[in-house]
Structure 1
């Protein structure tokens, strides 16, 4: 039970880590890697994809040390990071950007809200003016249905 809570807790914390990293690293000193992701048309691999590898390193290291020492809890911290990475990939690359055509016609209100929030993020193509840096938890306003006149 404790290991499941560690994994879930790390997964939730990773949203904050992701938000911070997206806002201050990707839209800051790491813009040279992230910029191609904000181009109107991109295809195939982007420099931005290197962030997946960057985030995978701590997860793999935690798997290794959690498996080969008495500090087993480290494995479950690594598992939480990995689970967040899988969720991020599924939401960001599959659902939002349609790099893989797996969820083309979803009507789920939560997924539609995430998609709308990310489209707002990309509306400003520049480094400084973007908003909504979260991935799984975004402001409630993105889930509201537009009012009909």
Structure 2
């Protein structure tokens, strides 16, 4: 029974991270921490890293802390919440950096309608070079209209 609770906690955390991502992207990355996110919208590509990459470290901290406290003194649910955050972070990296921005050329020739819809929605997000007037702040969930373009 306990293992089922841990599995549900991991999956629920993963799903919840989409809302956290949307809110964080809209109100923090396009708000008070715009100075870190700005180069992502106005890339110069003079080196392989952007200031925006600092968010990978910032968003890893809660997961690391949850792993730590989820193991002490015994394995508990915090570990599995941290695991859900980690799994979302891996999905984010694969979708955002690999599929969408092609920082690694692993999935450049996809024909998958869902993945193409994610890519299109993110391109719409990036058409705004400033922090205002943004749209499509999520990562795995985007409006259906972007997926319907690929029949």
TM-score, L = length of structure 1: 0.95
Q: Is the 8 A contact 2:34 2:131 kept in 1?
A: yes
Q: CA RMSD in A?
A: 1.4
Give the aligned partner of residue 80 of structure 1.
84
> Taking structure 1 as reference, are residues 55 and 40 closer, same or farther at Cα in structure 2, changes over 3 Å only?
closer
Could you say what secondary structure the match of 1:104 adopts? coil
Give the aligned partner of residue 6 of structure 1.
9
Residue from 121, 128, 131 that aligns with 2:132: 128
Which runs of at least 4 in structure 1 moved beyond 6 Å after TM superposition?
A: none
Residue from 104, 108, 112 that aligns with 1:104: 108
Q: Deviations over 1:55-106 (max 9, x none)?
A: 1011001001101124610000000000000000000000000000000100
- Give 1:1-149 correspondences, 5 Å limit: 1-42=4-45, 43-70=47-74, 72-145=76-149
How many residues in Structure 1 have an aligned counterpart in Structure 2?
147
Structure 2 runs not aligned, ≥5 long: none
The CA distance in 2 between the partners of 1:21 and 1:40, in whole Å, is 21
